[in-house]
Chains A and B, each alone.
Chain A
Amino acid sequence: MSFREKAAWISLAVTVGVWGHYFWKLGSLLGQEADLTRLFVNSVVLSIGAQIALQLVAHVTTPAAERSISDEREDRIESRATSVGYTALTILVVTLALASPLIIGGFGEVPHDLFADAAVAMPNLIILAVIVAEALRSLTAIAFYRLGR
């Protein structure tokens, strides 16, 4: 496995693992008094720490000569994957913008719903859009690496 493919796997694992945990935890805190800012900051720190640690492992387990290569096939794969991620991000953000009146209006049916508070809902939905786009970018890159193109 090349260094850049390892990087794509690491990005996917950290994105899904750390931010999956964040949103699962957020869901479990619905309607409760909780320090959501701390949960978010912990997730950011954990995400950066895990990325650095795993990238170091990938660095050590890949021969130096291979790490320094700028490979045209890998450049193309990364470019296509970034295009997929960017398109997904654009669609998700535009969808959020169009749905914002509904979100700001609240999901009034549930009285103590955490997401009734737009100040909590909007930032988290934007974070979710970024996370989904990044996961899609990594998945696309991995798929192309596995297919050899």
Chain B
Amino acid sequence: MAAPIRNRLRELRFHAGEMTQAELALKVGVTRQTIVAIEKAQYAPSLEVAFRLARAFDVGIERVFWWEE
């Protein structure tokens, strides 16, 4: 079952000049496979990684993630 936490990583990567998953992974300090899993909502990252992702796009965490009822 997918995590109820949704995200707009794909959209944010697009607006960041089509940043690749590998580039984002390197910025955040996780593997590319983890970025893939987060984007597909298969994996809910820790708070620390969530903040790192938000910082990579220079936005607030709530711009990246939200809880889907």
Contact = CB atoms under 8 A, between A and B. Distances in A.
Q: Tell me whether A and B are bound partners.
A: yes
A149 B46 CA distance: 13
Contacts of B40: 148
B34 A73 contact: yes
Given A65-B26, A66-B31, A72 B45 contact: yes
Contacts of A2: 31-33
Interface in A56-72: 65-66, 69-72
Interface in A99-149: 145, 147-149
Interface string B24-62: 011001111110110010110110110000000000000
Nearest to B42: A148
Given A65-B26, A148-B40, A72 B33 contact: no
Nearest to B30: A71
**Which bracket fits the contact residues of B?**
10 to 19
B26 A74 contact: no
A149 B30 contact: no
B64 to A, nearest CB: 16
Given A149-B42, A149-B43, A73 B36 contact: no
B29 A69 contact: yes
Nearest to A66: B31
Given A2-B33, A66-B25, A148-B36, 5 more contacts: A2-B32, A71-B31, A73-B37, A74-B34, A147-B42
Interface of A: 1-2, 5, 65-66, 69-74, 145, 147-149
Closest 9 A/B residue pairs (Cβ) = A148-B37, A148-B42, A73-B34, A2-B31, A71-B31, A71-B30, A149-B43, A2-B33, A149-B42
